[in-house]
Structure 1
Amino acid sequence: MSFSVKPLDETTWPDFAALVERHNGVWGGCWCMAFHAKGNGAGGNRAAKQARVRDGSTHAALVFDGAACVGWCQFGPTDELPRIKHRRAYEEGLTVLPDWRITCFFIDKTRRGEGVAAAALAGALGEIARLGGGTVESYPEDTQGRKVAGAFLHNGTLAMFEKKGFRRARQIGKHRWVVATTVAPGA
């Protein structure tokens, strides 16, 4: 498949919002707000996300198939995305915070298994390079040897990250890993 990737901003907000609305707010109204500092409840998440887009305090690589937004990868500096799953285990092995976190993916339910997540990850890494690069961390799930429904892989798969050059740093859950890489600054 051939996809294009664009950053989430005011010009792409309508495309992002249309995808989220087609999926009932994503995960019960999250609107990709769960990893930000505070929750606004399902009712307030849409407005909160749109406000973050307007003021530039949220980042995502949106994947398009033609004119349709079919998925995204959320990323941002650690102070923009301070909340992560398995926090206690994460903090036990923490030596230094990364510059960037990749916290979640969402793929249109009709487009899963087509490489949208890989395109979103590549797009996020490209945006991170454009924004100055640095250390990047994420928390994917190891699916090797077991079946996991795509809808539950909001952090992506370990294999996908390793294909993009991420290395395993440490395990923080039964199947979840901290992975990291360094992205050079780019244009």
Structure 2
Amino acid sequence: MEIRPASNFDDVRTMVGPKKPDANVCWCLSYRIPSKQHLALRGPERGEFVRGLCKQEPAPGVLAYDGDDVVGWAAIAPRADTTFARNGKIPHIDDLPVWSLWCVRVRPGFRKHGIVAPLIAGAVDFARDHGAPAVEAYPVDNGNERVNLTLAYAGTRKMFEKAGFEKAADTTAVLDGFPRIIMRRSL
């Protein structure tokens, strides 16, 4: 498993883009940009916006590769550059300039092959390499209940605990009926 910065637009499109170019899928933008801008971008404009992000430094996240196949995606950025900076349901714990890790996705056909752990570790390393003092994630606290795959992008408490994160705070946010919590890993 190799983890690389998400600077290859075609591979990012494989992981988070739509099957039909004119579809209004997330492209992992819903927490990255203000809601008004997110809703204004339509169809192919969404992909072009992400293409621009892939050319920036730092890249908009990391990708996992199994040989030549892109198999995983993790969105990570400084919290101050995301909508989590202003999210009233997910509070700030302190003034530390943390990075937010809000989306972890594994391609169908590659799930349950041990990709999540190196993908999260790679995202943490990416943030560390860019000066992050800590990384926060906002997974669901689902106990042992099954999470709907459509909404599994946030991850689970157990997944982040295995990656060395600790619960830092509760939130008032809910996803798929499960409370979201703040998990943090100091770097």
TM-score tier by shorter-chain length is 0.7 to 0.9
Output the amino acid matched with 1:178: I
TM-score normalised by L of structure 2: 0.81
Identity of paired residues, percent?
23
Match of 2:3 among 2, 5, 13: 5
In 1, Cα distance between the equivalents of 2:114 and 2:18? 20
Corresponding position of 1:90: 90
Give the direction of change, closer, same or farther, for the CA distance of 1:143–1:57 in structure 2 (3 Å limit). Answer: same
TM-score normalised by L of structure 1: 0.81
Match of 1:17 among 13, 24, 37: 13
Match of 1:176 among 174, 180, 183: 180
Q: Deviations over 1:118-157 (max 9, x none)?
A: 2210110111122223121110112323111333211111
Q: Deviations over 1:22-49 (max 9, x none)?
A: 6557x95211111112314341210111
The alignment's C-alpha RMSD in Å is 2.5
Gaps of 5+ in 1: none
In 2, Cα distance between the equivalents of 1:170 and 1:15? 34
Alignment of 1:122-161 (within 5 A): 122-161=121-160
Count of aligned residue pairs for this structure pair: 176
Corresponding position of 1:63: 64
Gaps of 5+ in 2: none
Shift of residue 67, structure 1, vs aligned partner: 0.6
In 1, Cα distance between the equivalents of 2:125 and 2:136? 15
In 1, Cα distance between the equivalents of 2:24 and 2:112? 22
